[in-house]
């Protein structure tokens, strides 16, 4: 009797890359669902008592009403944003079935997903890494629900796409950077590390043309597009900045200043505040000088150098700013994620420091913001730790960027050997 042999097909596992992509997708979906849950329960005391969502529901929506009339909020001291912010705040009108708040959050999530897709595509190229996509997926939820109720994710998307398009089109890189700078000024810094020569000229020319054209369109569409400059000039020292931390420590030593809500933030008022603000501006100039010195002295460029330089530049300008809001961490997370898409980046330790600083930022706001406002020892300690991590990240970032781009040591050529020292067989004539 003939035997019957059953053949069971082998179970094949999906390729490793596909498993990684699936993990990223699931991780993004689960973490963003948690962020949405936190936003829905925003009225919990530890989640800000409704303060996080209120900025979109009231402030952004109020500006939306003015912008729909073809004007910027000229008389509103809280309006401190470049004219490119107008279209972003008007964008929820693209989803008419939803309320303004719902549409804003939906578009923010869509932009968040776009960043993940861009980082994933960049990470799948030969010689690249998916670490950047994983970093963004895991890092953003450390800020709890805050990123969903601010438009910094949209700005970060423009900066991220600008850097990731550099290898294929310097013109596109410059155009996206210019659009980002028109929404919030800092994306212009992503152009600081472009390779010298044709790439830099092409990107900066494109940025200039794009910015000029966009400003012309905005000037036609809206009145008073530069009204934000008046409000920016009047800003003081925000409590979460480095200067604010110094003043908070001074209050524990008897300084007579106090905290007051003005220009859309909790700021210090009192003696010496103007001096601290002036010092911050002076340090910003020093930071610009350091970047210029690096640019002049740098000799060795890799594919990661523009990414690393962008992160360094934004870090230096962040720690010297008079204002450091919690959502600023979104910018730094996005740029660190871009760095991690390259295996040649010098910024891996900086990325870890930024994750730690982001986690502490969520303790600062919204969890313990009342302590920070009250300048209690607990609130001061939180800010010292957070800003200490940011300072360590900025210093480490600049030092590692400097070392990675300095000229490689060229060995001195050895003197030619004399005829007498050559082996005898090399002197023989056949």
Segment-wise mean pLDDT, segments of 10 residues, the chain, 430 residues: 49 64 95 97 89 93 94 85 94 96 98 98 92 97 97 98 96 97 95 94 97 94 79 77 96 92 87 94 96 94 96 98 95 98 97 98 94 95 98 98 77 42 34
- Angstrom distance (rounded) from CA 159 to CA 335: 8
Pair 269, 356: CB distance under 8 Å: no
* Phi, psi for residue 99 in degrees, rounded to 5: -70, 165
Q: Which of 309, 299, 295 is nearest to 338 (CA)?
A: 309
Return the pLDDT at 424.
Answer: 34
Structure tokens at 414: 């050895």
The secondary structure of residue 223, as a DSSP letter, is B
């Amino acid at each position: 009797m003939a035997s019957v042999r059953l053949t069971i097909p082998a179970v094949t596992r999906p390729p490793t890359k596909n498993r990684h992509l699936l993990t990223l997708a699931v991780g993004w979906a689960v973490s963003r669902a948690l962020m949405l849950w936190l936003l829905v329960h925003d009225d919990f005391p530890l989640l800000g008592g409704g303060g996080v969502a209120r900025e979109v529901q009231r402030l952004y929506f109020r500006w939306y009403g003015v912008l729909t009339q073809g004007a910027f909020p000229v008389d509103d001291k809280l309006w401190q944003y470049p004219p490119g912010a107008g279209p972003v705040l008007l964008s929820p009108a693209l989803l008419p079935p939803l309320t303004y708040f719902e549409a804003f959050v939906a578009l923010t999530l869509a932009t968040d997903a776009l960043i993940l897709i861009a980082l994933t595509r960049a990470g799948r190229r030969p010689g690249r890494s998916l670490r950047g996509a994983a970093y963004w997926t895991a890092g953003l939820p450390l800020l709890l629900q805050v990123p969903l109720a601010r438009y910094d994710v949209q700005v970060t998307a423009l900066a991220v796409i600008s850097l990731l398009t550099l290898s294929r089109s310097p013109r596109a890189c410059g155009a996206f950077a210019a659009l980002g700078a028109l929404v919030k000024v800092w994306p212009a810094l992503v152009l600081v590390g472009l390779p010298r020569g044709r790439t830099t000229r092409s990107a900066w020319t494109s940025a200039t043309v794009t910015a000029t054209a966009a400003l012309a369109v905005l000037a036609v569409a809206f009145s008073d597009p530069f009204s934000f400059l008046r409000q920016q000039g009047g800003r003081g020292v925000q409590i979460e900045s480095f200067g604010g931390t110094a003043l908070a420590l001074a209050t524990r030593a008897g300084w007579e200043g106090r905290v007051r809500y003005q220009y859309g933030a909790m700021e210090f008022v009192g003696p010496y505040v103007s001096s601290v603000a002036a010092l911050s501006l002076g340090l910003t100039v020093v930071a610009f000088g350091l970047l210029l010195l690096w640019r002049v002295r740098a000799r060795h460029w890799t594919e990661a150098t523009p990414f690393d330089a962008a992160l360094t530049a934004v870090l230096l300008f962040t720690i010297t700013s008079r204002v450091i809001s919690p959502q600023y961490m979104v910018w730094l997370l996005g740029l660190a994620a871009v760095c991690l898409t390259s295996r040649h980046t010098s910024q891996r330790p900086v990325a870890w420091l930024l994750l730690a600083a982001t986690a502490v930022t969520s303790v600062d706001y919204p969890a313990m913001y009342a302590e920070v406002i009250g300048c209690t020892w607990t609130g001061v300690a939180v800010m010292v730790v957070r800003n200490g991590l940011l300072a360590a990240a900025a210093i480490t970032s600049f030092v590692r960027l400097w070392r990675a781009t300095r000229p490689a040591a060229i060995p001195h050529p050895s003197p030619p050997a004399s005829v007498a020292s050559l082996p005898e067989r090399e002197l023989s004539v056949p």
